[in-house]
């Protein structure tokens, strides 16, 4: 097993910077998820760890070994890609076995290791089939087994579930979580799906434009976002962000006037609040009052959206809550549910 350390990693292509001065320490056996939008640098960072890209600056250490100059095959990492990368002319058994043959592992151990890996991902009754005879979920499990059979120090997974349908993503996600717990292998997982990040990770690395935005447990990322980017990226729906200003201890936006608690900053500020932290009411003495812009039944809740001074803000009511479009509705916010951000930098302000 191995820890991973990235010291000031930077990746440039001419004048374009993909990753900028990136520092990270991944503990032995930890499950880290890189999360961010397309083009944020998460896959490039993973590829540098794997040795598929060379860093322009900085050091990569796996365990105590600096691996910058090591070939991918010498880093003892196994990758699972978005595309399954299976050999169509080989059976499932031979696809799983292939890394052992390439690395010249003792042939007498192959059968036991292949069957053990296949059993972990519930493929033991499909070993005779070819990839064309498998579903997408089964092919992804073959790719997982092929990584497991190597018994590497590090697993690197690049959006492995993105080609699966919603139901398969849920079941395969649970399987990956269980596998990592069973194998206790250091794992870095790349995704743009914040649900995958929140459900899988010990810690989440939120990235944007090649830079680290926040590093923390899923709970820390969700409860105390470091800036408006993280706040707007995490959550379903994302955190509401309402621009306004502080006047005489109150947040003011349009007709809304909300006590700002311990916030002392006079002037422009951004208020954030989660949809589930809001009480939806028909009373006109609520914190925010406006006609209903949209109402959506989600199944377990009803999502009610208002237009406040040109900004759409949403709240979750009970699934039995009924309201008509354009009907006057109020959102009631508790002070402890409010998040405050600098209007210019986007950084979190703690009162």
- 240-349: CATH, from 2.40.50.140, 3.40.140.10, 1.10.1060.10, 3.40.50.720: 2.40.50.140
pLDDT averaged over every residue in the chain: 92
Q: How far apart are CA 231 and CA 338, in angstroms?
A: 12
Which H or E run contains 20?
strand 16-26
Locate the DSSP E strands across 160-319. Answer: 186-191, 203-208, 211-216, 240-247, 250-253, 256-259, 267-273, 278-281, 288-297, 302-308, 311-317
Q: Say what percent of the chain tops pLDDT 70.
A: 99
Question: Over 90: is that where the pLDDT of 37 sits?
Answer: yes
According to the model, what pLDDT value does residue 335 have? 85
Question: Over 90: is that where the pLDDT of 231 sits?
Answer: yes
Nearest CA-CA partner of 36 in 28, 24, 44: 44
The CATH superfamily holding the domain 4-229 is P-loop containing nucleotide triphosphate hydrolases (3.40.50.300)
165-to-73, 135, 137, 168 alpha-carbon distances in Å:
32, 11, 9, 5
β-strand pairing of 250-253 with 256-259? antiparallel
Question: Over 80: is that where the pLDDT of 322 sits?
Answer: yes
According to the model, what pLDDT value does residue 351 have? 63
Question: Over 80: is that where the pLDDT of 219 sits?
Answer: yes
Q: pLDDT-derived band of residue 97, with 50, 70 and 90 as boundaries? A: very high
Q: How far apart are CA 287 and CA 347, in angstroms?
A: 24
Question: Over 70: is that where the pLDDT of 319 sits?
Answer: yes
What residue ranges of the chain are covered by domains with CATH 3.40.50.300? Answer: 4-229
- Tens of pLDDT, residue by residue over 105-146, are 999 999 999 999 999 888 989 999 999 999 888 898 899 999
Q: pLDDT-derived band of residue 275, with 50, 70 and 90 as boundaries? A: very high
- Tens of pLDDT, residue by residue over 45-91, are 999 999 999 999 999 999 999 999 999 989 999 988 877 788 999 99
What residue ranges of the chain are covered by domains with CATH 2.40.50.140? Answer: 240-349
- Report, as an integer, the average pLDDT of 172-193: 91
Residue 318: burial class (beta carbons within 10 Å; 0-12, 13-18, 19+)? exposed
Q: Are 46 and 38 in contact (CB under 8 A)?
A: no
According to the model, what pLDDT value does residue 285 have? 81
């Amino acid at each position: 097993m191995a820890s991973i350390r990235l010291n000031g990693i930077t990746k440039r292509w001419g004048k374009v910077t993909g990753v900028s001065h990136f520092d990270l320490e991944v503990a032995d056996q930890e499950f880290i998820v890189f999360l961010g939008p397309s083009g944020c640098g998460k896959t490039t960072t993973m590829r540098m760890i794997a040795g598929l890209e060379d860093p322009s600056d900085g050091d990569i250490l796996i365990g105590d070994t600096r691996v910058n100059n090591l070939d991918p095959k010498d880093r003892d990492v196994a990758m699972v890609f978005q595309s399954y990368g299976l050999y169509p002319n080989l059976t499932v058994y031979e696809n799983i076995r292939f890394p052992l043959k390439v690395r010249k592992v003792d042939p007498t151990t192959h059968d036991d290791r292949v069957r053990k890996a296949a059993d972990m991902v519930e493929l033991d009754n499909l070993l005779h089939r070819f990839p064309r005879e498998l579903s997408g979920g089964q092919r992804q499990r073959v790719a997982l087994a092929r990584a497991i059979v190597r018994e590497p120090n590090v697993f690197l997974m690049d959006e492995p579930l993105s080609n699966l349908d919603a139901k398969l993503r849920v079941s395969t996600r649970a399987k990956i979580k269980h596998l990592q717990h069973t194998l206790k292998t250091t794992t870095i997982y790349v995704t743009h799906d914040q649900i995958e990040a929140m459900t899988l990770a010990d810690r989440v690395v939120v990235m944007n434009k090649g830079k680290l935005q926040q590093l923390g447990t899923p709970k820390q990322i969700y409860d105390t976002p470091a800036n408006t980017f993280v706040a707007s990226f995490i959550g379903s729906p994302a955190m509401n962000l309402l621009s306004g200003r502080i006047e005489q201890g109150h947040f003011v936006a349009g007709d809304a006037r909300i006590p700002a608690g311990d916030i002392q900053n006079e002037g422009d500020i951004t208020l954030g609040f989660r949809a589930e932290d809001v009480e939806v009411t028909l009373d006109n003495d609520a914190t925010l009052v406006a006609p209903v812009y949209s109402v959506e039944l989600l199944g377990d809740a009803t999502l009610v959206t208002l237009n406040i001074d040109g900004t759409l803000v949403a709240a979750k009511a009970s699934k039995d809550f009924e309201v008509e479009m354009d009907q006057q509705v109020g959102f009631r916010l508790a002070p402890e549910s409010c998040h405050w951000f600098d209007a210019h930098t986007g950084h979190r302000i703690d009162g």
